[in-house]
Amino acid sequence: MDDKSKPDPHHLWSSRSVFPWKILLHGPCSQNQARLRHKLTAMGAKLFVTDHFDQALPVINGNKLDGVVLDWGAPDSERLARRVRVSRSNSRTLVAILGTEPERHHLNGQWFCNMGWFRTASEVGRFFQLRLNHLLNERLLYHRVEQPGLAICLWSRSSASGVVLNLSTSGMLFMAQNTSPPETNVSCLITISDPWATLTMKGLVIRRTRRNAGPGEDGQPVELLGVKFESVNQRHARRLRQFIKQSWAKEYDRWLVGGHGASLTRALHA
């Protein structure tokens, strides 16, 4: 990435229009919540404001949240905190609780580990600003290509000597960075984030073949020859491979031109 294109570290939140944070704000309307809502909105967050458990549950089940703010005085706050921790998509989501932390013997430790307790809205804002800063840098480095239901591979030049390969599928994000120019038979190491947020596997190898839709740069599609899994955790590798075979390989075979989809399918079954 060029130095000119890197964001000023003192103005990181100016890029929120590209990568809006999804934050659930649960609790009754109060001065503290209004102040917090204003601060999070200024950071560019997309807020889901709820005051009942039945309203918050669809938000938790239907979104990959970047953060959750709970008012401990709200009804069902403890129940909602448990629901966040056992949800498939948000089990590791940042959770901030507005209120005075009760005695430890009143809490079930397995539900409330890694949760921050704060008394004021400004403390919650600083908490999210510091913790989400790291995620922002990753998102700016590996730009997401959103194309639900269809896998598309894109080459985009990020500097004079490097390119970034972006590959996104429905329910899964593939990210890669390669330091070589986009020429024939370039191998890339891909970082995979699985949809269960249980593991980030490294070592997926994708090899580029010929260009059949114009130049490979500037967002033009390219073909893939094969996929190879290299993971020390074979149980998670099998789980992820099964997910891709069921929801991804058939659509990708239809999209690819020139019969390379068969190579992809064989690699997935290997």
More confident residue, 133 or 92: 92
pLDDT the model gives residue 11: 38
Phi/psi of residue 111, each to 5°?
A: -90, -30
pTM above 0.85, yes or no: no
The CATH number that domain 9-141 falls under is 3.40.50.2300
108: pLDDT confidence band, cut at 50, 70 and 90? low
If you search the block for the tokens 């109060």, which residue do you land on?
A: 30
114: pLDDT confidence band, cut at 50, 70 and 90? low
Rounded mean pLDDT, 59-85 = 84
pLDDT of 30 above 70:
yes
DSSP E strand boundaries for the chain:
22-26, 46-50, 67-71, 94-98, 115-118, 152-157, 163-169, 172-178, 187-193, 200-208, 224-228
Tell me which amino acid residue 264 is: L
Residues 6+ apart with CB under 8 A from 41: 47
Q: Are 89 and 64 in contact (CB under 8 A)?
A: yes
3-state secondary structure of 74: coil
**What DSSP string runs through 119-155?**
SSHHHHHHHHHHHHHHHHHHHHHS-----TTS-EEEE
**Mean of per-residue pLDDT scores for the chain:** 55
Domain extents for the chain?
A: 9-141, 152-269
pLDDT the model gives residue 44: 74
pLDDT the model gives residue 83: 86
Lowest mean pLDDT among 135-149, 233-247, 255-269: 255-269
Q: What is the pLDDT of residues 230-252, one digit of tens each?
A: 333 455 445 545 554 554 444 44
